[in-house]
Amino acid sequence: MADRTRRSTGIAGLDLALDGGFPPSTRVIVSGSPLSGLELLAGQFWETGDRGGTYLMIDTVPQEGMTDARGMDPAALAGAMQGDRIVVDSLSTLVLEWGVDVATGLILDDTREVIGRGATIVYLLYTGLHSPAEEVRMMRAADIFITLRHQIHGNEFERTLAIEKFKDANVPQRVIPYHIVAKGLELSTTSRVV
């Protein structure tokens, strides 16, 4: 049975894999390439519920309802985090501009009050931009770490989502196939028995 205290991710299949969604007071990092659907997952999470949250856009011109966080320092970012559903797009830009020490400080220390009031913060992390040591530090700072992977096989895409870390909970023992559709990510929740 799904935990009713969890926040829906906005993706039914992911909610199922997470036993209801993201727990309150969690730091979630979603990692993948720019074409893997990271922004779609973040948008689905942010738009679910009563839109009682903040989408901090650091990387590009924000869309309607998002906060223009370009040029904000980490302290200003933490101060701009309002509501229960917060997205930071992207953690990669913070690491590139301010360094991994400042970025992990934002995740663990600067947002302590935001996490303390029960918010769930989703950070986007782009693969291929950081050193292995930087990636390890960010993985360790997260309560939940999700990886989106995509590969091309002949003329088809294969996309899979892996929940690789889930603090104080069981981690699902399989990857979950997903598709990118007009409304966002759609996960396959069926398994084949061979």
CATH of the domain at 96: 3.40.50.300
Q: How far is CA 166 from each of CA 126, 144, 163, rounded to the nearest angstrom?
A: 20, 5, 7
Q: Could you list the residue range(s) of the whole structural domain that residue 117 is in?
A: 24-149
DSSP string, 36-89: TTHHHHHHHHHHSTT--EEEEE-SSPPPTT-EE-TT--HHHHHHH--SSEEEEE
**182 assigned to some structural domain:** no
Q: Is residue 16 part of a domain?
A: no
pLDDT tens digits for range 137-194: 999 999 999 999 999 888 888 999 999 999 988 888 889 999 999 999 999 866 554 4
User: Per the domain annotation, does 155 fall within a domain?
Assistant: no
pLDDT tens for each residue of 100-144:
999 999 999 999 999 999 999 999 999 999 999 999 999 999 999
Identify whether 122 is part of a domain.
yes
Q: What is the pLDDT of residue 192?
A: 52
**40 domain residue, yes or no:** yes
Q: Is residue 11 part of a domain?
A: no
- Kindly list the distances between the CA atom of residue 183 and the CA atoms of 17, 47, 60, in Å, as whole numbers in the listed order: 20, 12, 21
CA separation for the pair 50, 40 (Å, rounded): 18
Q: What is the pLDDT of residue 173?
A: 85
Mean pLDDT (whole number) for 23-43: 96
Q: From the centroid of its chain, how far is CA 65? A: 18
pLDDT of residue 170: 87
- Give the integer Cα–Cα distance in Å for 133 and 149: 20
Mean pLDDT of 1-14: 80
40's tokens:
């779609």
* Exposure string for 70-79, b = 16+ CB within 10 A, e = fewer: eebebeebbe
Q: How many domains does the chain have?
A: 1
pTM value is 0.93
How far is residue 122 CA from its own chain's centroid? 4
Q: Is residue 125 a contact partner of residue 29, using CB atoms and an 8 Å limit?
A: yes
Q: What is the pLDDT of residues 41-85, one digit of tens each?
A: 999 999 986 657 999 999 999 999 999 999 999 999 999 999 999
- pLDDT score of 1: 41
| pLDDT value for 190 | 65
Please tell me the predicted confidence (pLDDT) of residue 172: 85
Tell me which residue of 65, 11, 59, 68 sits closest to 37, measured CA to CA.
Answer: 11
